[in-house]
Amino acid sequence: MLLLAIDTSTTAIGVALHDGDAVVAEATTLDARAHAEHLAPNIQSVLTQAGAEPSDVTEVVVGIGPGPFTGLRVGIVSGRTFAFALGLPVHGLCSLDALAHDTWLGGHRGGLLVATDARRKEVYAAEFVLDDRGPTRVAGPVVSRAADLDESWRELPVAGRGPLLYPADLARPAVDGGEPSGIRPLPLDVSAGALADLARRRLATGDALDGLEPLYLRRPDVATAPPTRKSTLG
């Protein structure tokens, strides 16, 4: 196995390679606006790190969001195109699941809220329970103002950039430096390495993945204009 993982649902434009045992290469660029410009160089970077060629890749997984329309689409389309060109299977996974999985890999257990930037003064959010078997999503994803999330959600530890953007509503910071020894700070963005590891585990156990339909959760800002009277005449 050489699994290529791509996620562009958050500020992080992430790419990773997983050989079935571990992540062997990862490249991440933080840029909220230039996903298309950074993705191809990051794919080339992980291939170079691993000493691999595109033809060595056996499967592709993409984060399907939720995320802002343009950035999310870049990752999904690129992953599907890469897979199509090489005749490879391509899978999708909820990006919030990957953030929760990264949190679990970091040693955290118990309840967790994942809240990422949805722009328009909103967050994409989902509730998880992390136990020794892994993370389980129990509610969401939703798009909402942070202040409008259920109070029980807003009392949970939070992974993602939500607390940095809306500290008055998500009071528990994403990184507080007070974790016990051996437990990593809660992640801010989706790690392509965590996405790859989660996909590999689900594929190994036969658990369902999520398909390739993007989780936009709301309509894009730009829509096709309705036909005018002139265009319908004749």
Q: 87 and 199 share a domain? A: yes
Mean pLDDT of 18-33: 95
Mean pLDDT of 173-180: 49
CATH number at residue 158: 3.30.420.40
Q: 101 and 54 share a domain? A: no
How many domains does the chain contain in total? 2
Give tens-digit pLDDT for 69-92.
Answer: 989 999 999 999 999 999 999 999
3-state secondary structure the chain: CCEEEEECCCCEEEEEEECCCCEEEEEEEECCCCHHHHHHHHHHHHHHHHCCCHHHCCEEEEECCCCCHHHHHHHHHHHHHHHHHHCCCEEEECHHHHHHHHHHHCCCCEEEEEEEEEECCEEEEEEEEEECCEEEEEEEEEEECHHHCCHHHHCCCEECCHHHHCCCCCCCCCCCCCCCCCCCCCCCCCCHHHHHHHHHHHHHHCCCCCCCCCCCCCCCCCCCCCCCHHHHCC
Residue 181 within any structural domain of the chain: no
Residue 222 within any structural domain of the chain: no
Average pLDDT, the chain: 90
Give tens-digit pLDDT for 215-229.
Answer: 998 765 544 555 655
Q: 83 and 116 share a domain? A: no
Q: 14 and 76 share a domain? A: yes
Q: What is the pLDDT at residue 183?
A: 80
Q: Which residues constitute the domain of residue 79? A: 3-94+190-205
Q: What is the pLDDT at residue 208?
A: 84
Residue 230 within any structural domain of the chain: no
